[in-house]
Amino acid sequence: AATGMRFGLGREAMAEEIAAWDVDVRPDGTGLPEGSGNAWDGEALFEENCAVCHGSFAEGVDNWPALAGGFGTLADKDPVKTVGSYWPYVSTVWDYVHRSMPFGNAQSLSDDDVYAIVAYILYSNDLIEDDFELSRDTILDVEMPNAEGFIVDDRAETEYTIWRTEPCMENCKDSVEITMRATVLDVTPEEDGADD
Amino acid sequence: MSRRKGPSRRQFLTSAAALGATATAAKAAGPDPLITETQDWAMGLGDGVDATPYGLPIEYESDVVRRNVEWLTADTISSINFTPIHALDGTITPQGCAFERHHSGAIEMRKQDYRLMINGLVDRPLIFSYEDLERFPRENHVYFCECAANTGMEWAGAQLNGAQFTHGMIHNMEYTGVPLRTILAEAGLDAAGDFKDKWVYVEGADASSNGRSIPMEKAMDDVLVAFKANGEALRKEHGYPVRLVVPGWEGNMWVKWLRRVEVMDGPVESREETSKYTDVLADGVARKWTWVMDAKSVVTSPSPQAPITHGPGPVVITGLAWTGHGKITRVDVSKDGGKTWETARLAREGEDKALTRFYLDTVWDGEDWLLQSRAMDETGYVQPTKAQLRDVRGENSIYHNNCIQTWHVKPNGEAENVEVS
């Protein structure tokens, strides 16, 4: 690879520094640390750290995300996209929980805690048994139902070829009818001072 | 900022209607006391130059602010607010009212505490301080940052009544920063080998981290590590002191509070590119890596928050157009819901991956209008209708809704967000 001019700025990163910040986990498991946990351990941890927002069964509370369920709904009018029904990789669950959850107290879980909580989320989605010991060595054994559910952006073929065309300027349609109005829903916030 | 308790828009419209089209200075019945009587400001004194070391807009503009929509998200921390595009003109977004989107809130970090790590497939993993970054050669560019979810609430129908809410997850700023390729070269890229099928993973210093994977080709092209916007330091809520600028690509990838760039031989497939920022099609299969924001436009005035209050006669139809594919070359405007179109005037030649202002100087006869705008870009792409988008994608994509917007302008001058056949 071509390299440009060097300015001699910055300093070499130390191994401890890289270890502290570089914690991303890849779909093939690269980046996962030692450790393990199962849904039995995870249930208690989930109740303590996660259930207030995500529900005791990972079903979601109020507007907070449901982490389980929704299987077979992706083509429905209102898809329910959860770890079980939508997420393609277990690695992402581990990485995201480890790095960014619980909301408001991120990076507070030990590696074993994360394995156990991820196991509980997978168990809540009926993807593993309750005694399945989740670890670096077993995580790729978990089959994610929607792993094949994604395609790489295909707009170039399915859209751009159709829509790169000289547009109509006159007599483009015979009639125009209003089919929907936002004021019927009336969900727009009022401006300050309005509606005294 | 003082909060003016002035007349609501509804009250204003009522009184404007009561006064009719005669309530303008040009048609006044008698001498105008604002002219014939000496006003306070023509006699007394204004503020001294020491009154406002860093000013805010005058109180009469207090409605030109960011707004949020409570029901959209579970809380206001991982949430969105909206730029008041209905009230702005030109193309540069004032930073103080430019939209915010956080996943774990707007964090506060001093420049002294800032560190940027470059690691992975590089010859020398490096740590930079903020000061280091300012010692690299800089560039200036104006780009739009549009949230992938902008207009996302409108997929299934007309929902929110105002351009701010339907199209305001966008801002456009002049950035000063260092090309990412300059910083990667400093770490040395011999270790990366062939750039083809190499990626960078970028993440922020906040709790959400917002990690995203970017192909090496884009990273080496026009991505900026930016520390100034519109001439001054980034605002806290926009990533102070350093953010990534990813021209033409969905706003989620513009990682704020940038702390780490890792060169990798594959994508991470992080939460923000699997669970989120993937677009479900009608058959339940989802597109991933839909990075580019396609050509789009919206009439900002008249619009639901910017009604016509002056009665029939000359009126300026204006709006914004933009495309992630390069330059806007043309914007057409329709007043009859797409039956006929007129080509608008671009205030300035379209700029690369930046907002473009358009005007149609015209006359309103006081009749109903079904106002639309349709952008074209330099690749020949024509902004589609919502029906065209739904034919390909269905209604559950959430992201990347760049459909043609319709405003129904009524005889009383009010405008409403509608869908038309």
- Read off the pLDDT of residues A182-195 as tens digits, 9 standing for 90 and up: 988 888 987 654 44
Give the C-alpha separation, A129 to A123, whole Å: 6
Q: What proportion of chain B, given as a percentage, has pLDDT over 90?
A: 91
Look at residue A3 in the predicted model and tell me its pLDDT.
53
Kindly state the average pLDDT of the residues B400-404.
98
pTM over 0.90, yes/no: yes
Within 8 A by CB and 6+ apart from B39, the residues are none
B64 phi and psi angles, rounded to 5 deg: -90, 75
Lowest mean pLDDT among B24-33, B107-116, B295-304, B386-395: B24-33
Q: Which chain A residue has its CA at the smallest distance from B121's CA?
A: A1
Q: What is the mean pLDDT of chain B?
A: 94
Q: Which residues of A touch B118 (CB under 8 A)?
A: 10, 13
| B143, β-bridge pairs | B173
Q: Which residues of A touch B291 (CB under 8 A)?
A: 153
Give the C-alpha separation, B128 to B415, whole Å: 51
Q: Which chain A residue has its CA at the smallest distance from B283's CA?
A: A75
Q: Which residues of A touch B5 (CB under 8 A)?
A: 193
B118 CB-side CA count, 13 A:
27
Query: Is residue B20 over pLDDT 90?
Result: no
With beta carbons less than 8 A apart as the criterion, state whether A82 and A64 touch. Answer: no
Look at residue B25 in the predicted model and tell me its pLDDT.
57
Model pLDDT for residues B186-197, shown as the tens digit of each residue: 999 999 999 999
Look at residue B369 in the predicted model and tell me its pLDDT.
98
Look at residue B5 in the predicted model and tell me its pLDDT.
39
Q: Which residues of B touch A154 (CB under 8 A)?
A: 287
If one compares A193 and B377, the residue with the highest pLDDT of the two is: B377
CA angle, corner A109, sides to A107 and A114, nearest 5? 115
Look at residue B17 in the predicted model and tell me its pLDDT.
44
Cβ of A100 and B339 within 8 Å? no
| Residue A47: how many other CB atoms lie within 10 Å | 12
Interface probe, candidates B134, B206, B270, B409, chain A, greatest A C-beta count within 10 A: B270
Out of A4, A171, A180, closest to residue B185 by CB: A4
Which of the four pLDDT bands, split at 50, 70 and 90, describes residue A84?
very high
Query: Is residue B7 over pLDDT 60?
Result: no
Give the C-alpha separation, A134 to A85, whole Å: 20
* Closest-CA residue to B231 (of B110, B91, B92): B92
Kindly state the average pLDDT of the residues B6-10.
43
Query: Is residue B3 over pLDDT 60?
Result: no
Which residue matches tokens 């300035």? B348
Q: What is the mean pLDDT of chain A?
A: 94
Which of A:60-119 have CB within 8 Å of B? 62-65, 74-75, 77-79, 81, 83, 86-89, 91-92, 95-96, 99-100, 103-104, 106-107
Look at residue A5 in the predicted model and tell me its pLDDT.
77
Query: Is residue B203 over pLDDT 70?
Result: yes
Q: What proportion of chain A, given as a percentage, has pLDDT over 90?
A: 90
What is the torsion angle, in degrees rounded to the nearest 10, for the CA atoms of residue B203, residue B209, residue B215 and residue B218?
A: -60
CA angle, corner B334, sides to A181 and B401, nearest 5? 55
Kindly state the average pLDDT of the residues B260-271.
98
A157 in reach of chain B (CB within 8 A): no
What is the torsion angle, in degrees rounded to the nearest 10, for the CA atoms of residue A98, residue A103, residue A109 and residue A112?
A: -50
Kindly state the average pLDDT of the residues B309-332.
98
Look at residue B26 in the predicted model and tell me its pLDDT.
61
Query: Is residue B24 over pLDDT 50?
Result: yes
Cβ of B384 and A163 within 8 Å? yes
With beta carbons less than 8 A apart as the criterion, state whether B346 and B402 touch. Answer: no
For A28, the token pair is 């093939």
Look at residue A190 in the predicted model and tell me its pLDDT.
79
Model pLDDT for residues B238-257, shown as the tens digit of each residue: 999 999 999 999 999 999 99
Which of the four pLDDT bands, split at 50, 70 and 90, describes residue B261?
very high
Instruction: Give chain A's radius of gyration (CA, Å).
Output: 24
Kindly state the average pLDDT of the residues B166-170.
98
* Closest-CA residue to B244 (of B286, B289, B212, B198): B212
Query: Is residue B404 over pLDDT 50?
Result: yes
Look at residue A183 in the predicted model and tell me its pLDDT.
86
Query: Is residue A18 over pLDDT 70?
Result: yes
* Closest-CA residue to A115 (of A32, A55, A52): A32
Model pLDDT for residues A96-117, shown as the tens digit of each residue: 999 999 999 999 999 999 999 9
Out of A22, A87, A195, closest to residue B119 by CB: A22
Model pLDDT for residues B58-114, shown as the tens digit of each residue: 999 999 999 999 999 988 999 999 999 999 999 999 999 999 999 999 999 999 999
Cβ of A178 and B165 within 8 Å? no
Which of the four pLDDT bands, split at 50, 70 and 90, describes residue B11?
very low
Q: What proportion of chain B, given as a percentage, has pLDDT over 70?
A: 94
Query: Is residue B22 over pLDDT 70?
Result: no
Look at residue B8 in the predicted model and tell me its pLDDT.
45
Query: Which contiguous run of DSSP H or E holds residue A54?
Result: helix A51-54
DSSP reduced 3-state for A123 = helix
Query: Is residue B365 over pLDDT 90?
Result: yes
Query: Is residue B4 over pLDDT 90?
Result: no
A178 in reach of chain B (CB within 8 A): yes
Give the C-alpha separation, B251 to B272, whole Å: 12
Please give, rounded to a whole number of angstroms, the shortest distance from the CA of B51 to a CA of chain A.
27
Q: Which residues of A touch B125 (CB under 8 A)?
A: 12-13, 18
A16 in reach of chain B (CB within 8 A): no
| Residue A25: how many other CB atoms lie within 10 Å | 25
